[in-house]
Structure 1
Amino acid sequence: MAEQRTIHNINVPLIKSPSLRVPRPVELPPDIHPLPEDVTAYFVYPFTIEPHILTLESSRQTTLAAHATRREAYLRAREEEKVRRKKEALRRVAPGFDPDMGTLLPTKLSTPVAHSPVVPATRPATQRESIPLPPRSAMDDLVDQLAAMESRSGQPLSPRPNNIS
């Protein structure tokens, strides 16, 4: 059966496309130089080019290194600027805040007490020391400060005179 197919294929006429053009065969010129059997004679290293190539390579490497250091410095400066801006924004919200230090904890400022609370003298001294005093409020501190200001001036605080007549 395979032989029948090949016989049928042989008898099929080929139709040449009008757009198909077969190129002309290449003719070699008569004075062409043939290659020798050994081509190692053609491989000669040009030592005259070497210093030029080496200087170009060294200058290229120094240029690349300079660009790399500039790029690293620029990126480092950019990161430092970001951190500085972030710290400034945080300090605007909370003055004195430093993110490197951790959480900002409030500290109580000690205010000088103008007078000490009066403890009845009828109790013995050991009993006075053992009784805990109630915690002071902001209102108590305000009253103490106003009393201290009044005692410094020598006269009681009076309201301002009204200039309207």
Structure 2
Amino acid sequence: MAEQRSLHNVNIPLIKSPSLRVPRPVELPPDIHPLPDDVTAYFVYPFTIEPHIITLESSRQSTLAAHAARRDAYLRAREEEKVRKKKEALRRIAPGFDPDMGALLPTKLSPAPTGAPHVTANHLETVSPIPRTAMDDLVDQLAAMESRISPPGRLMQARPNNIS
């Protein structure tokens, strides 16, 4: 049966498309130069181009380096500006505060008295008065504000913040 199918296939005529055109065979020119056995002579690099390429590459690299340095300087200045603004904002809230130092430590404006005269026995003790701190002033101001805000029937008495 396989032989019968192949016989039917052989007798089928092929129809050529009118748009189909068979190309002409390529004809080689009579003066074509054949390649030699050794082709290394064809791979010669023209070193006359080399200095031009090197100068272009070096100038391109120097330009890129200059752009990178300018970009790094800009980013560093921007970061320093952010840190400076943050420090200024913190110093507006707490003068003298430096976030790099950590906790805010109080500074003494005047030296504390080193020796306070003490008289013992039956005499009264003489002690130099404790200087008022900023916290004492703040407590007094808050007490004054509280007394102004409270209703007239409920007056709060401001207590001094002198704890000995």
Give the TM-score normalised by structure 2.
Answer: 0.51
Where structure 2 has 5 or more consecutive residues not aligned to the other structure, the ranges are 113-118, 141-164
Of residues 115, 122, 125, the one that matches 1:124 is 122
Q: Aligned partners of 1:42, 1:87: CA distance in 2, in Å?
A: 70
1:151 maps to which residue? none
2:89 maps to which residue? 89
1:27 maps to which residue? 26
- The C-alpha deviation readout for 1:126-157, integer Å capped at 9, x for no partner, is x948xxx9xxx949xx8xxxxxxxxxxxxxxx
1:76 paired to 2:76: yes
- The C-alpha deviation readout for 1:104-131, integer Å capped at 9, x for no partner, is 2456877x9xxxxxxxx99525x948xx
Q: Aligned partners of 2:80, 2:99: CA distance in 1, in Å?
A: 14
Q: Aligned partners of 2:136, 2:50: CA distance in 1, in Å?
A: 87
**What is the CA distance between 1:80 and its match in structure 2?**
0.5
1:58 maps to which residue? 58
Q: Percent same amino acid among aligned pairs?
A: 64
What letter is aligned with 1:59?
S
1:122–1:83: structure 2 CA closer, same or farther, 3 Å change rule?
closer
1:99 maps to which residue? 99
User: RCO (CA 8 Å, sep 6+): is it higher in 1 or 2?
Assistant: 1
Q: Aligned partners of 2:120, 2:44: CA distance in 1, in Å?
A: 120
- The C-alpha deviation readout for 1:18-49, integer Å capped at 9, x for no partner, is 6x857625524425444333221211111211
What letter is aligned with 1:78?
R
**What is the CA distance between 1:99 and its match in structure 2?**
0.7
Q: Aligned partners of 1:34, 1:14: CA distance in 2, in Å?
A: 44
Q: Aligned partners of 1:80, 1:94: CA distance in 2, in Å?
A: 20
1:138–1:63: structure 2 CA closer, same or farther, 3 Å change rule?
closer
1:143-162 equivalent positions in 2, closer than 5 A: none
What letter is aligned with 1:94?
A
**What is the CA distance between 1:87 and its match in structure 2?**
0.8
- The C-alpha deviation readout for 1:55-84, integer Å capped at 9, x for no partner, is 222222222221222122111111111111
Matched residue SS, 1:97? coil
